[in-house]
Chain A
Amino acid sequence: QVQLVQSGAEVKKPGASVMVSCRVSGDTLTEVSLHWVRQVPGKGLEWMGGFDPENGDTIYAQKFQGRVSMTEDTSTDTAYLEMSSLTSEDTAMYFCAQGHGSGSYVWFDPWGQGALVTVSS
């Protein structure tokens, strides 16, 4: 059974970058399609992007294209989310989640515990 363990909380200043990690156990990263979802405090879930096995590429939500990069280190089974040009509106909990399905459907299970990123001057 796959488990996802994320890195700890981060505090960043506006304009900085942040990198959040998600380590996979119970399987190898090459067998898992990872996605990233964020949640602003008190708000709903927002998909940022993830691996699409149908085309074998990482896809990004339009809102985050150009500012977010999702990478993987298969030697350590760890995925990374890097976001640049942070503003206070990026203060949120960032979750990684395993995606299942492809094409016309996808669902997420399990989810990591989340990593809180706070952007404050």
Chain B
Amino acid sequence: SSELTQPPSASVSPGQTVSITCSGDKLRNKYASWYQQKAGQSPVLLIYQDKRRPSGIPERFSGSNSGNTATLTISVTQSMDEADYYCQAWDRSAGVVFGGGTKLTVL
């Protein structure tokens, strides 16, 4: 089992907002990153250092981190956002840890 816990699935209607959580002691006082992985593709960085967006990532992707829970929020969700989403953090003893992933369905 992952040391970072994500819900295995989430669903959203087009145009609506969805939030995906990631929780675990490994997040306490640590930065979280988020990745999007579409079927058959490599992961793509969406968010780093809790809330920073790399260039080219739409503003509708946002991140936050409080206590031991990080959250990825997708606003005005589009059909192209249907993918698996993974959170990730760094722990000095365990190294890099990933969440188990959340499969987002856009209904």
- Supposing A45-B43, A100-B48 touch, asked if A107 and B88 sit within 8 A by C-beta, the answer is yes
- Supposing A47-B96, A49-B95, A105-B30 touch, asked if A113 and B42 sit within 8 A by C-beta, the answer is yes
A-contact 0/1 string along B20-43, CB 8 Å cutoff:
000000000111010101000011
A109 at the interface (CB under 8 A from B): yes
Do the beta carbons of B33 and A104 come within 8 Å of each other? no
Interface residues of B in 65-91 (CB under 8 A from A): 86, 88-90
Interface residues of A in 36-62 (CB under 8 A from B): 37, 44-47, 49-50, 59-62
Question: CB-CB < 8 A to B43: which residues of A?
Answer: 37, 45, 95, 97, 108, 111
Chain A interface SS verdict (over half): strand
Do the beta carbons of B100 and A44 come within 8 Å of each other? yes
**A-B interface pairs (CB < 8 A), number:** 75
Do the beta carbons of A46 and B98 come within 8 Å of each other? yes
How many residues from B make CB contacts under 8 Å with A? 27
Question: CB-CB < 8 A to B92: which residues of A?
Answer: 104
CA distance A80 to B97 in the complex (A): 22
Q: A residues touching B (Cβ–Cβ < 8 Å)?
A: 35, 37, 44-47, 49-50, 59-62, 95, 97, 100-101, 104-114
Q: B residues touching A (Cβ–Cβ < 8 Å)?
A: 2, 29-31, 33, 35, 37, 42-45, 48-49, 54, 86, 88-90, 92, 94-101
